[in-house]
Every structure is written in C-alpha cells, then in structure tokens.
Structure 1
Amino acid sequence: MPPLKVLIAEDDLLSQRMLVDMIKDAGITDVHTANSGAQVLSKIDSQLKPDILLCDLLMPGVDGIDLLRLLGERNFKGEIIIISGCDRRIINAACNVALHYQLRLAGSIEKPVDVNKLMRMLRYWGEMKRGAPVVDERLTFSRDEIKTAISSGHILPYFQAQVDINTAAINGVECLARWQHPARGLMLPGDFLLQLTEFNLLDAFNEAMFTLALAEFKSLHQQYHIPYMAFNVAPESLHRGAVVAKYKQWVVNAGLDPANIVIEVLESDYEGRQELPVVALNHFRLKGFGLAVDDFGTGYSSLERVSKIPVSCIKIDKRFVVEAYDDEVARSIIRNTVHLAKELHITTIAEGVESQAEWALMRELGCDAIQGFVIARPKVARQFKLWLNSMPSAMTCVGGLAS
C-alpha cells in the first residue's frame, strides 16, 4: 500500500515545523508543506495528491475559506483537517463551507494543536486507507465491466455490526457494498457509484446487491437472531414509481419481513434545492420497513427533514464522533441530537467509533448504539459468522469486543 501522504498549509514556519514533527512521529514520512493557499493550489495542480490536507484559516493571499472554495471547484478528493486559532464559531463556519462544496472534512482542531487528537485523526484515516486501496482517478470503468461485475457477483455485500451501547448485544447489521476487482483490489462504493448512475445501472446494482444480501442476512437472522439489516439506497432510486413495491416483494421472496429491513438514506446527498423523496420514504414506513438517516448533521436542514419523514433511526456522522472527545461543540451537537431523537422516540447510532474511550463518551452522551472499528470491520457473511462464533456468549462488558 502506498504510504499516507500529508500536505500542511500553514504560513507560520514554527507552527509548520511543529506539525511536520508531530506527523513524522506518527510514522508518516511523506509530508509536504505550503506557506499559503496559493502554494497549496499550485502543488495540487502539479499532480500532488495528498490523502490528508491540514489547512490553516489565516493565511496571506488565498486564505483558508478561499482555499476550501477553490478546492471544491477542483473536486479535491483528500481528507481535510482544519487547524486554526480562530474563534470556534469561525472554525465551524469554515467546516460548513467545506461541506457546502462537498469536500471530505475529517474534522477540525483548535490551536495550540492537541497532538493526541491529531494522532487519532491520522490513525483513523490511515486505517480507512488500508481498507480501501488507492485507485487512479484517471482510470474509469466501461459499462460492460460494471455490468459483468454485477451479474457475476464480484460486487458483494459486507456486513458490519451495530451493537447496544450498554450491553454490546448486536442490534443489527449494516450491509456495505464492496467490489473485489481482479486488477484493482477491494474497492468501496465511492469508486464506482457515479458510473453506475452514468451507465443507468443503479437499479440493476440495487436489485443484485439487495437480493444477495437478503439471502445471506436470512441465515444471520435465523442462526444468530440478528433483528435487522440496514441497506443503503441511493437517492436517485427513490424517485422511481414502484421502488417500494419492488423492495417489499424482494423481502417477501427471501422469506423475511419488512420489519427486518432498515432503509438507509444519506442526509448529505440532499441540498436545499433538491426535492426530498418524501412519498417513497413514507411509503417504506407504511409497508413496515425501518428508516434511517445516515450522516445526520452534515446535510441540508436536518431537523426539517426529520419533521417530514417518519425515521426510526438517526446515525450520527463519524466526524462528530471523532471530534467529540476534545471538542465541546461536537459534544453539544451529539447531545442535542440525542435529546431530539429521544423526544421523537427515534434510535441513535454513533458511527465510526474506534476506541473504548469514544464508546464510553457516546454512552455518556446518551446514544443508543454504536458502529465502528472498535467492534469489527465490515466482513463478508462467511467471515462475519466466524467472528460471531468467536465472540463470548454473554456480551455485557462494554468495550470488550475485538475486531
């Protein structure tokens, strides 16, 4: 695997040197620096592709806010960590700018930089990269290549556990698509979903993935009494006229009940100008399906969305989970989200939990369940069963599970 590549955008040379030393102490040797936003853009335009960009806000010329806008226009794919000594409200505003331009925001850190928080973020995204081999963005797939992958079963359902935050009992699983490409290795949905839509193969992909996942989940449900499977449905599919009837029929054909399935939609897929598929989402609930909102808090008008659709679950975005340990603002967002959910009798799941300390904090903030590497990485059904068989029969020790 190529080493993690980090670019630091910091005009203060002393701060820049300290950040370089911190990152190298974490075992990352491919570190680049820039003294201004203009230098960042120049390096990126010259084909430097950092996995992580550490971005100061107060820089000469092209400042941090301008830089985020210009990176959005360039469709920058790296993770961004905002580092600043500005007022927390200004940092939050910068985070909102990054999200507005659909950049991948890993989090923010106030100056002076907490080395432990920075190390946690770098470790998290390093783990993510190890789970998803880098694919050359200039390479694309042909329609026949994707169509063959779907029909041949090369795109498989992986399962990740969601557990009760107090007892560690498994509440359910989330189905996650993975493409085992013969030349490029294991790929995540972000590597091929856009082309699925471009080639009008999204419906074929959804049907193949969902029906295969149902067959494998039925075994998990019957043998291990796992109550439900969460399945992600792309927003484009929700505007199809008969989508709900098709999903119900597939569930019935598999010998399951709609109550065993949670339809998961990404809140961050919607912006203010986009129409909500309210009819389809309400129809899913009417037919007995569960309904979850993923990435809660990162998209457009979260509270308005919850008021319009009868969700049964809110998934708190991993960005807030990562930041919450050291950031009162992130803790407040989670705390208020949990309060809202309890008022509306909605379950909350914290995503991306990777340590026992984060597990304990999410429990303290009132979350109902967690999902993340601290429990286990996503696995194909066969490996997931082996993992289940290796677990203790009584899962009562919070933080006692290993992946």
Structure 2
Amino acid sequence: MRHLNYLVLEAQPFHRRNTVGSLQQVVTGQVHQAASGEEALELLHCCGGVDIAICNLHTTGTAGLTFLRTVGEARLVRAVLLCGPLEASLRKATVAMIRSLGMYFLGGQEAMPDIAQMQVLVDELRAVPESPAPQLPAEQPSLAEILLGFNDDQFVPYYQPKMTLHSGEQQGAEVLARWNHPQLGVLAPGYFLPAIEEHHLMDKLFVRMLEKGLALQQALSGDMPEPELAFNVQAAQLASKTFAEQVETTLRQYQVSANKLMFEITETDLVGSTANHLENLIHLRLMGCGLAMDDFGTGYSSLKRLLDFPFSQLKLDGSFVRDLESRPGSRAVIEGAVRLAESLAISLVVEGVETAEQQKQLIKLGCSVGQGFGLARPMSGEHFLQYCLEASHTEENLLISAG
C-alpha cells in the first residue's frame, strides 16, 4: 500500500510545529510544512504534489485561498482538510471551491484531528480513486513566452539560506531563478532554463536576478548587515570581456558592498577556460566578491581547478551527504573536504542537508555551514526579507539577554 504524503500550511510557527509533530506520530509518508502560500507552492512543485493538504485559512487568509486555487488547477493536491476558525458561510463557500477544483474535501474543524480522527480521514482518502498526476507541457516554452515573461516581470529570485549547523544562524543565501508563471504557477529552472540558454538569454536572466538581489540587500541595509548572496554563473557568461565590469556597475548603482556577493561556478564549467574567464574571476576577487567552486567532488580534475582559480569557498556536492549512511566512503570524502578547506584557508558549505540526523553527523565531521531542505527551503523575496528581519531581531534579543 502506497504511503500518503502531507502538507501543513500554517502561518503560526507554534501551531505548525505541533501539527507536523502530531502527524509524524501517526502517518508513514512524508510530512511537509510551509508558512505561506508561496512557500507551499514552491515546495509542491519541487516534490511533485501531496495527497493531503492541511490548510489554516484563519492564519493564511487570502494567500491560503490563492494556494488552494493554484494547487487545484495544477492537480498538486488530492484532498484538503481545513483547520482553524472560519465563519460558517465562508467555510461553505470554500468547500464548494475546493470541490469545484477537483479536490476531495476531508472536513473542516477548529482543532487538528486527534490520532483516531486522522486514521479515519486517511482510510477515507485511500478509498478515493487517484487522478492522473499533473504534467508540465512536454515542449519547451517558446521565445515569445519567455520574452513575455521578462516583460511582465515573471522571472523572480528565490532565496535558499546557508546556515550555521551548530546554531542555525543565517550565513547568507543562494539566489535561484524561478518563473512565476500566470497559468502554471512557480516553475523551477528545469522547465525554462534550457530554452533561455538556447535563445541566448542567460545574461538577461542573470542581470534580472542580480538587480533584484541587490535591491533586497539595499532594503535590508538600514535594519541589519546585508546577507551575502550567491549567484550561479556559467562559463559562457564568464567568457564575456565585460562581465565583471557589469557587476561592478550594478553594485555602484545599488550602493551595495562587493564583499556581500558570491559567485558560484561548477568545476566542470571551467574545463577549457580561456584568459577571459580568468580575467573576470580575478577582477571579481579584486573587487571583493567571493568565488565558490560549486558541486565540488563530482567534476573533472577538482583539485587542479581549485589551485588554478582564485576560489574563496568550496560547496561540497549533496550526493555525499545523501550517501552518508549507505556508503562509508562518503564520510571520508566529507572529512577530507573539511581538512582541504582549512588548509587552503577557504570556507566550506555542505549541500543537500535534509534531515536532523545528517546535520548531527556533519557537525561531528567538522562541518560548520550547510544548505538544504532540512535547514531552509528556497523562499520568495518577500518571505526571505521577513526571514532575515526575524532572525536579526532574535539575535538582538539574545545579545540583550546575555548582557
């Protein structure tokens, strides 16, 4: 019998944690969680959907309503359970909307169902035939669709934090491109990036992400130190003689310090590099920007590339973390990466941290900073802005208490 997967959409952290904890005691499938409709949509597009969404419209409001409409249209949720107080006529209308979207309504109540009630609901859902999983269009988006997306400002950055493994303190974020498509919802790069590359629009996408990222840093500058933002760069972009100059010009425009930027390049991207690549990388480092070797450990001639180029950070590929338990050699690779980074006086970020057990093991192996769904999922600019402000206020309160 297939395990059922769940999503808890609840804006209040305390109630969300309690609901997730209760579910994990009685179900065998995955239990996802989100604090906002945007975060929930991003998560569902990444994981391919869930069977049951538990949604509190009392705390999520219109964002929760938009979430229900979008997941119903995209067939990302089979059934919905409403929680939290809701006026009778609003509840009735919401139930009608859920059913009109083709989703099964499991019920609505102010409190989270207890173990016995949840088992009844799960059994009830198992009796409902599954509808086919949603499919994205098989064809790549056309040039006209992509240009319309740029013109309508549909390409937006999502931010995935890098965290200190010991304390959970934020150490900046990686900027990830998303397409906020008016019909298909939030789309990951796998859908649109090949077409953007084919039509030679990577520079346009990069500039859009850079400008939006710097605007966010500028918005935070009065309240806290700007977070370091990392941008992915391809070898073709580094081949341009004006790449670093363009970055420098944009930094001056937004009045953001260069040491708040990191550029991530995969080691395989640098095979066959030219003088232009090196000039841009050196220029970026002289400006004060950081350079990270991304997906370290999976490409060709890693160590030679590391010595040939002016990197300031290693990002260890997440496959080594995923294989921690099943492949003993992964532990040795991680320990080796820690020692290598220390000996070269550069920082190390471990990718693919998905569970608390992995985090615990990585700390024992000497890792300091990690990134992954188990620490923080990619989030919209609005969500990340609030995330940074809340983290800053928490840190301030801790300092006051300590004083």
TM-score, normalised by the number of residues in structure 1:
0.63
The correspondence for 1:129, drawn from 47, 50, 54, is: 47
1:182 Cα deviation from its structure 2 partner: 1.7
CA offsets per residue over residues 205-239 of structure 1, 9 Å max, x none? Answer: 21122112210122234423244111111221110
For the 8 Å contact 2:239–2:274, the answer to whether it is kept is no
User: Is 1:393 the counterpart of 2:403 in the alignment?
Assistant: no
Q: Supply the AA of the counterpart residue of 1:129.
A: C
Cα 1:168/1:394, change in 2 over 3 Å? same
Structure 1 spans left out of the alignment, 5+ residues: 1-23, 29-118, 398-403
* Partner of residue 336, structure 2: 336
Question: For 1:16-35, what aligned pairs fall within 5 Å after superposition?
Answer: 26-27=3-4
* Partner of residue 321, structure 2: 321
Structure-1 separation of matches of 2:253 and 2:305: 32
Cα 1:359/1:141, change in 2 over 3 Å? same
Q: Partner of 1:304: helix, strand, or coil? A: helix
Q: Partner of 1:300: helix, strand, or coil? A: coil
* Partner of residue 231, structure 1: 231
User: Is 1:172 the counterpart of 2:172 in the alignment?
Assistant: yes
Q: Partner of 2:372: helix, strand, or coil? A: coil
Q: Supply the AA of the counterpart residue of 1:354.
A: E
Structure-1 separation of matches of 2:285 and 2:272: 25
Structure-1 separation of matches of 2:308 and 2:151: 37
1:340 Cα deviation from its structure 2 partner: 0.7
Structure-2 separation of matches of 1:366 and 1:249: 39
Larger Rg computed on CA atoms: 2
1:166 Cα deviation from its structure 2 partner: 2.3
Q: Partner of 2:179: helix, strand, or coil? A: strand
For the 8 Å contact 2:45–2:188, the answer to whether it is kept is no
CA offsets per residue over residues 283-305 of structure 1, 9 Å max, x none? Answer: 21122110111111111111111
Q: Supply the AA of the counterpart residue of 2:47.
A: K
Cα 1:394/1:307, change in 2 over 3 Å? same
Q: Supply the AA of the counterpart residue of 1:348.
A: L
Structure-2 separation of matches of 1:290 and 1:252: 17
Cα 1:389/1:284, change in 2 over 3 Å? closer
* Partner of residue 200, structure 1: 200
Structure-1 separation of matches of 2:45 and 2:203: 31
For the 8 Å contact 1:232–1:263, the answer to whether it is kept is yes
1:375 Cα deviation from its structure 2 partner: 2.2
Question: For 1:25-104, what aligned pairs fall within 5 Å after superposition?
Answer: 26-27=3-4
Structure-2 separation of matches of 1:127 and 1:263: 26
* Partner of residue 49, structure 1: none
1:202 Cα deviation from its structure 2 partner: 1.5
Q: Equivalent pairs: percent with the same residue? A: 30
Structure (1/2) with the larger helix percentage: 2
1:368 Cα deviation from its structure 2 partner: 2.3
Q: Supply the AA of the counterpart residue of 1:393.
A: T
Q: Partner of 2:237: helix, strand, or coil? A: helix
* Partner of residue 118, structure 2: none
* Partner of residue 301, structure 1: 301
Structure-2 separation of matches of 1:330 and 1:170: 26
For the 8 Å contact 1:347–1:368, the answer to whether it is kept is no
Cα 1:389/1:183, change in 2 over 3 Å? same
* Partner of residue 96, structure 2: none
Cα 1:268/1:187, change in 2 over 3 Å? farther
* Partner of residue 358, structure 2: 358
Question: For 1:254-333, what aligned pairs fall within 5 Å after superposition?
Answer: 254-270=254-270, 272=271, 277-333=277-333
Q: Partner of 1:387: helix, strand, or coil? A: helix
Structure-2 separation of matches of 1:204 and 1:371: 27
Structure 2 spans left out of the alignment, 5+ residues: 6-28, 31-42, 50-73, 77-133, 399-403
